[in-house]
Amino acid sequence: MKSRLLLALVLGLASSQAIGAKARTASDWLQVEMAGPSSALVGRVYREQLLAWYRDSGTMDEAELKTLPEAEYFAFRPDLTRFAIDRGDMAGQWTFSAPQTGQWPDSAVQIVDRSDTINYRILVRIYCDPAQAACRKLRDDTAAMAPPEPPTHPDTVSYAAWRALVEKEACTPGPKAMPAPPYPVSMARAGEGGRVQLQLLVNACGEVRAVRLSESSGYPLLDQSAITTAWRWRTQSERQPSGATVKVPVDFVPPPEAVQAHRTERPGR
């Protein structure tokens, strides 16, 4: 099963959605299903996606990769909780809940986009134990989720319907917050950096509702750090008439001493 990191579609949780008279109501576009307690399934899917990411990203050498399939456990990555599966029974956009230390995730949300060129439709399956309070909260939060971006072309009616929901959704203004993404220590020490160009769709209060990678830095770890952090940004402090698309460059500049050390180690460059 091949995976790719989720870049455009992602689960966004919000308290409520209020839309204009001509826009769709939540019940028109959102269907929520409880898949029941499936901890073994959730753990397996997460393990497969994380392993595939390690293989595709080049962050591990072949010797390390060979040990992972047989490992009973390898560390949960809080920066890698969202994956897109593009085929098979598990196809959809997955968001995994953080587990207890030393365990695999046992709950997750799967978003299945059923939009066509005319209708905007989202099916969400929730995998968790209904008897647990955390599961009930996950269900309630999901029922109030912000509408995720459909994969249809921006010129289609379904895409326009989604964007209208985002641009006019109810929101509360707050302080602008755009913290810098974490700089992977290994890359900073190696003198590796670059610019990540992001394209964001924000609502009227500047809360991010979609993230696209417009231009890669050339390093998957830097790209993912910028993307993951961008989902938590608020791009403005004042409420605007509607949402908008904004472009944001993110620069990873290695420390001068690391760059010098890197050049010294590779004098031929």
pTM of the model: 0.62
pLDDT of residue 1: 35
Question: Is 10 exposed, middle or buried, given 0-12, 13-18 or 19+ CB atoms closer than 10 A?
Answer: buried
For residue 101 the two structure tokens come to: 């230390």
pLDDT of residue 144: 87
Q: Is residue 256 predicted with pLDDT exceeding 50? A: yes
State the greatest distance between any 2 C-alpha atoms of the chain, in Å, as a whole number. 66
Sheet holding 82-85, edge to edge: 3-5, 82-85, 92-96, 108-113, 122-127, 30-36
pLDDT of residue 258: 59
Of 47-61, 68-82, 215-229, the one with minimum mean pLDDT is: 68-82
172 pLDDT band, cuts 50/70/90, is very high
CA distance 224 to 7: 9
User: Considering only CA atoms, which of 158, 81, 78, 68 is closest in space to residue 118?
Assistant: 158
CB neighbours of 258 closer than 8 A, spacing ≥ 6?
188, 189, 190, 191
pLDDT of residue 122: 93
Tell me which of 229 and 98 has the higher pLDDT.
229
Percent of the chain with pLDDT over 70: 81
Domains and CATH numbers, the chain: 1-151 (no CATH), 171-269 (3.30.1150.10)
pLDDT of residue 159: 86
Percent of the chain with pLDDT over 90: 47
Residues 185-188: contacts with CB under 8 Å, at least 24 apart: 187/219, 187/221, 187/222, 187/252, 187/254, 188/252, 188/254, 188/255, 188/258
**Residue 43 and residue 106 in contact, taking contact as beta carbons nearer than 8 Å:** yes
Signed CA dihedral, 237, 243, 247, 250: sign only: positive
Q: Is residue 10 predicted with pLDDT exceeding 90? A: no
Q: Which residue has the tokens 């790209």?
A: 223
Name the average pLDDT for the chain.
Answer: 82
Q: Are strands 122-127 and 108-113 parallel, antiparallel or unpaired?
A: antiparallel
pLDDT of residue 71: 63
For residue 178 the two structure tokens come to: 């755009």
Q: Which residue has the tokens 């590779």?
A: 266
Rg (CA), the chain: 20
**Residue 158 and residue 115 in contact, taking contact as beta carbons nearer than 8 Å:** yes
Q: What is the pLDDT of residues 119-166, one digit of tens each?
A: 999 999 999 999 999 999 999 999 988 888 887 888 888 888 998 889
CA distance 199 to 177: 17
